[in-house]
Chains A and B, each alone.
Chain A
Amino acid sequence: MENFSDWQETLLHLPLFPDGVVMADMLTLPAPLGSFLRRVLRMRQLPLSQLAQLLQLSSEQAAEIGQILVEKGVLQRHVTDAEPEYKVRFAPKSKTRLSDQVWNALGDL
């Protein structure tokens, strides 16, 4: 997907990730976005210029897409002296289905 409006259209339907994403999300998100996020993850943290390269958009357009992804909770942006840098925003911990009683028992060990 190389078109700015295509990216906007895709992100319009992207749900919010208030806690960040988990790896399963990376595998189940729609193909262009999932693939994009996996590449960002492999590059760990990338400046706006590289984000633009990856999205095949201008810097201004990439900044706009980056902003939407930050607002959706998928990316985090770090402001640096040079240009902003982006990385995947991960949910801090896996969710658990174990009851509090079990965790309390484990805590006693």
Chain B
Amino acid sequence: MSQIISVHSFRGGTGKSNTTANLAATFAAQGMRVGVVDTDIQSPGIHIIFGMGDQRPPHSLNDYLNGDCRIEEAAMDMTPGLGVSLKGRVFLIPSSTQISQITRFLKGYDVGVLVDGYEQAIKMLNLDALLIDTHPGLNNETLMSVSVSDALAVILRPDFQDYQGTAVIVDISRRLGVQNMVLVANKIPLNLHLDQLRTNLETQYRCPVGALLPHSEEMMALGSEGVFVLRYPNHPISAEIKRLAQMLLA
């Protein structure tokens, strides 16, 4: 049965898109067919990590939401451009980077159409998993995506602004009935004790920690120009992402 997995955070800049891309590649390496939907319409970015650069896709999620195409027509097979041979496939449904398209959606969009699109994408692309890269914070569209997800990864940095906002996300996600929720601490300063951080997070949020991702020079150097787990498959961060992937599918 196909899984819908949302990757979300209360604040921006936590590493949602990088985590989503890395999860997608990890699943595909295991032979899964994975879809990734960039629902961060106001500030799209995951297409960069998949190597699209300035390339303008023939269709985008915006076109689907406008009723201008079917959702599967907005899906692009990113697998050949990932630079390694994967047993599975990664399809990206990107958001438009055109200013006119972004501003058009600042008023919001029909969330019912978006959810129908998830189902349609799973069916038409024969997906094992659909990953949703969300817009940070609380808004109608994101709450909808979280509601229909089988699993949710909540990303936070070890930062007091993140701590408070994450409590809100965790609480609301529980009220929305998310069954499988895991925390991901990202960009952890190297002087923090990881075991202690894990214990603190699990105690405070009553939620399992799926991954602890320390600050990494390799990640910084990559600068979102590639998928980390494919470039550094033997790095400790890649091992943590694999662990996270397993927990999200559990």
- Chain A residues at the B interface, C-beta cutoff of 8 Å: 20, 22-24, 26-27, 35, 38-39, 41-42, 44, 87-90, 92-96, 98, 103, 106-107, 109
Jot down 11 A-B pairs with beta carbons below 8 A, ordered by A: A23-B143, A24-B140, A27-B175, A27-B176, A41-B147, A44-B119, A90-B144, A92-B110, A92-B112, A98-B106, A106-B103
Interface-centre pick from B106, B112, B139, B177 (highest chain A CB count, 10 A): B112
Docked-complex contact B100 and A109, CB < 8 angstroms = yes
The reply to whether the CB of B115 lies closer than 8 angstroms to some CB of chain A is: yes
The reply to whether the CB of B148 lies closer than 8 angstroms to some CB of chain A is: yes
The reply to whether the CB of B193 lies closer than 8 angstroms to some CB of chain A is: no
What is the bound-complex CA distance between A38 and B173, given in angstroms?
11
Find the B residue at minimum CB distance from A23: B143
The reply to whether the CB of B169 lies closer than 8 angstroms to some CB of chain A is: no
The reply to whether the CB of B32 lies closer than 8 angstroms to some CB of chain A is: no
Find the B residue at minimum CB distance from A92: B110
Q: Which 7 A-B pairs have the closest CB atoms?
A: A94-B108, A23-B143, A90-B112, A106-B103, A92-B110, A93-B108, A94-B140
Docked-complex contact A44 and B115, CB < 8 angstroms = yes
Residues of B within 8 A of A27 (CB): 143, 172, 175-176
Find the A residue at minimum CB distance from B105: A93
- Chain B residues at the A interface, C-beta cutoff of 8 Å: 99-100, 103, 106-112, 115, 119, 139-141, 143-144, 147-148, 172, 175-177
Residues of A within 8 A of B112 (CB): 20, 87-90, 92
Docked-complex contact A26 and B147, CB < 8 angstroms = yes
Docked-complex contact B147 and A109, CB < 8 angstroms = no
What is the bound-complex CA distance between A23 and B147, given in angstroms?
9
Docked-complex contact A26 and B139, CB < 8 angstroms = no
Find the A residue at minimum CB distance from B176: A38
Residues of B within 8 A of A87 (CB): 112
What is the bound-complex CA distance between A20 and B140, given in angstroms?
13
Docked-complex contact B99 and A109, CB < 8 angstroms = yes
Residues of A within 8 A of B172 (CB): 27
What is the bound-complex CA distance between A5 and B104, given in angstroms?
46
Docked-complex contact A93 and B110, CB < 8 angstroms = yes
Known contacts A23-B111, A24-B140, A90-B111; A44 and B147 CB within 8 A of each other: no
What is the bound-complex CA distance between A10 and B139, given in angstroms?
27
Instruction: Kindly provide the distance from the CB of B140 to the nearest chain A CB, expressed in whole angstroms.
Output: 5
Find the B residue at minimum CB distance from A43: B148
What is the bound-complex CA distance between A109 and B99, given in angstroms?
7
Find the B residue at minimum CB distance from A41: B147
Find the B residue at minimum CB distance from A105: B103
Find the A residue at minimum CB distance from B98: A109
What is the bound-complex CA distance between A54 and B50, given in angstroms?
42
A27-B176, A94-B107, A96-B108 are known contacts; what are 10 more A-B pairs with Cβ within 8 Å?
A23-B144, A27-B143, A35-B177, A38-B147, A38-B177, A93-B109, A94-B108, A95-B108, A103-B107, A106-B103
Docked-complex contact A109 and B148, CB < 8 angstroms = no
What is the bound-complex CA distance between A96 and B106, given in angstroms?
9
Residues of A within 8 A of B177 (CB): 35, 38-39, 42
Docked-complex contact A90 and B110, CB < 8 angstroms = yes
What is the bound-complex CA distance between A109 and B103, given in angstroms?
8
